[in-house]
């Protein structure tokens, strides 16, 4: 038995398939001496291991050019449980709790969307999402500017730790939620008109708070992972 495993993925593009071979399942049963491990357990385990800092560091160059190889971590259950938590966060990001950061509107705390959008429709509308500025004019990532009147404040540092392709979920939001003009057609994509918050602009604030929750919780789960690589003699 080696210390790493080719994933043995089925080569399928559609259909109701689990995409893990029986051979792969047998390798896990044999290595951990536990025939109760299921293919779903392995997928959760893989998702956990692939977030492990030591695994990502060791294989960072391989991931750019080869199929991934996954170590048999000393603690299977720790990575299976962590993978399940991360899957739930990342696939259910639009239903997670809102992280309790304050929304300030015209300098006052508004954490419940008290403004009636029919009387003040621009209160929570996206102007240009951007990080705040500190007293010395440097970037302050504890503040997210929604528009000149509205901002999220006291964003924790841990919201910037978890990244996807080098960007945190909030940074992805900044880069994605912007007005875009398609020059050939002249059509402007206005994120304020997106269905998820067109009728209730405060849903944007809820969405951003959920992204913060995903980031903070992902960083916490990853930070609590044990080593994923077998200890070398």
Residue 227 inside a domain? The answer is no
Task: Check whether 13 has a pLDDT greater than 50.
Answer: no
pLDDT digits (tens, 9 = 90+) for 114-167: 777 666 878 999 988 999 998 888 999 999 999 999 999 999 999 999 998 889
Q: How far is CA 155 from CA 21, 113, 169, 201, in A?
A: 43, 18, 13, 20
Q: Which residues lie across from 122 on neighbouring strands? A: none
SS3 97: coil
In a domain, 87, yes or no: yes
Q: What's the chain's average pLDDT? A: 87
Residue 64 pLDDT level (bands cut at 50, 70, 90): low
Specify whether the CB–CB gap between 83 and 46 falls below 8 A: yes
Question: Once rounded to an integer, what is the mean pLDDT over residues 59-72?
Answer: 76
List Cα–Cα distances, 30 to 1, 2, 37, 49, 202, in angstroms. 9, 11, 10, 19, 52
Give, for 150, the enclosing helix (H) or strand (E).
Answer: strand 150-153
Does residue 232 fall inside a structural domain? Answer: no
Report which of 121, 120, 100 is spatially closest to residue 112, judged by C-alpha positions: 100
Residue 190: domain span: 102-200
Report d(CA 144, CA 164) in Å as an integer. 19
**Helix, strand, or coil here: 102?**
strand
Same domain, 41 and 109: no
Which range has the worst mean pLDDT, 23-32, 110-119, 159-168? Answer: 110-119
Q: How far apart are CA 79 and CA 86, in angstroms?
A: 10
Is there a domain that residue 218 lies in? no
What token pair was written down for 107? 């300098």
Does 117 lie in the same domain as 84? no
Mean pLDDT value of segment 188-203: 88
193 falls within a domain: yes
The Cα–Cα gap between 204 and 195 comes to 11
Residues 83 and 138 grouped into a single domain: no
Q: Of 57, 91, 125, which residue is a domain's last?
A: 91
Residues 189 and 131 in one domain: yes
Q: Which of 91, 122, 157 is the last residue of a domain?
A: 91
Is 128 inside any structural domain? yes
Q: Are residues 74 and 151 part of one domain? A: no
Are 23 and 78 contained in the same domain? yes
pLDDT tier, 4 (very low <50, low <70, confident <90, very high otherwise): low
The pLDDT value given to residue 101: 95
Is there a domain that residue 47 lies in?
yes
Q: Classify residue 226: in a domain, yes or no.
A: no
**What is the 8-class DSSP label of residue 185?**
T
Predicted TM-score (pTM) of the model is: 0.85
Please give the tally of structural domains in the chain: 2
Question: 68 and 10: one domain?
Answer: yes
């Amino acid at each position: 038995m080696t210390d790493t495993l080719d994933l043995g993925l089925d080569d399928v593009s559609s259909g109701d398939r689990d995409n893990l071979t029986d051979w792969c399942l047998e390798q896990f049963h044999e290595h951990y001496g536990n025939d109760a491990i299921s293919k779903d357990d392995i997928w959760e385990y893989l998702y956990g291991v692939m977030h492990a800092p030591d695994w990502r560091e060791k294989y960072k160059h391989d991931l750019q050019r080869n199929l991934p190889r996954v170590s048999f971590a000393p603690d299977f259950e720790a990575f299976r449980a962590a993978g399940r938590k991360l899957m739930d966060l990342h696939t259910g990001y639009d239903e997670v709790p809102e992280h309790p950061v304050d929304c300030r509107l015209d300098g006052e705390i508004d954490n419940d969307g008290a403004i009636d959008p029919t009387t003040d429709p621009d209160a929570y509308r996206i102007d240009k999402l951007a990080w705040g500025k500190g007293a010395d004019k440097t970037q302050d990532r504890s503040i997210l500017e929604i528009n000149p009147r509205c901002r999220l404040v006291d964003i924790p540092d841990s919201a910037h730790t978890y990244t996807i392709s080098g960007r945190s979920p909030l940074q992805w939001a900044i880069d994605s939620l912007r007005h875009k003009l398609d020059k050939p057609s002249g059509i402007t994509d206005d994120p304020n008109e997106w269905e998820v918050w067109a009728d209730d602009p405060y849903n944007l604030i809820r969405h951003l708070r959920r992204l913060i929750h995903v980031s903070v919780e992902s960083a916490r789960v990853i930070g609590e992972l044990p080593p994923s690589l077998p200890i070398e003699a």
